[in-house]
Amino acid sequence: MSALFFEVHPQNPQPRLLKQAAQIIHAGGVAAIPTDSSYALVCHLDDKAAVDALRRVRGVDDKHHLTLLCRDLSELASYAMVDNKQYRLLKSVTPGPYTFILPATKEVPRRVSHPSRRTIGLRVPEGPVTQQLLDILGQPLLATTLIPPGETEALNDSDEIRERFGHALQAIVCAGACPLEPTTVVDLSQGEPTVLRRGRGSLAALGLDD
């Protein structure tokens, strides 16, 4: 069974199509969606079979950090622990192309947090498609960058995604090409920010040297 393909407008996505994609995800499907850094694989946070399927498609084990895509920081306290200083930092750069590694709360199922560190990646993406999809779902999505197993570059062409992964996914939301530059990853789990990967998000905006 091949994935259903939803072609949406990048700035004004059709709600009807996003609702259909959201229903597939809600029912346990794994989908490819556009974000403000690249296409990502996403699934329902609370569905173990969907999380396992997402890891299989991506070719990663349980030590690979998965990321929670959130609509805004109002959902943050349910899933991650931050102090006031860290919260101000997050507020100053979200939504945007940053992934923050944070200590996970007990609300996060153990299977999706890092097994030895109990941390979770969290990000608030820009972009109408991702934001509206999250809005329709009413909860965060579990996500990982759509990099094929054994490769280093994320996929950015929805036709190529359909050709290579259509059999393994349940939905593909196409909104044209993404920026194709990964997020800047910042570890806040030890207190002070540590940059793990330089990406699209400016370090200067975090008060760090760019």
- Residue 110 is predicted with a pLDDT of 77
DSSP string over 9-45: -SSS--HHHHHHHHHHHHTT--EEEE-SSSEEEEEET
pTM of this structure: 0.92
Phi-psi group of 147: left, alpha or beta (phi > 0 → left; psi -120 to 50 → alpha; rest → beta): beta
C-alpha span between 57 and 149 (Å, rounded): 8
Q: Mean pLDDT in runs of 10 for the chain (210 residues)?
A: 90 96 97 92 93 94 87 88 92 94 86 79 93 94 93 89 94 88 91 90 83
C-alpha span between 34 and 51 (Å, rounded): 19
C-alpha span between 5 and 203 (Å, rounded): 36
- Residue 1 is predicted with a pLDDT of 66
C-alpha span between 43 and 197 (Å, rounded): 24
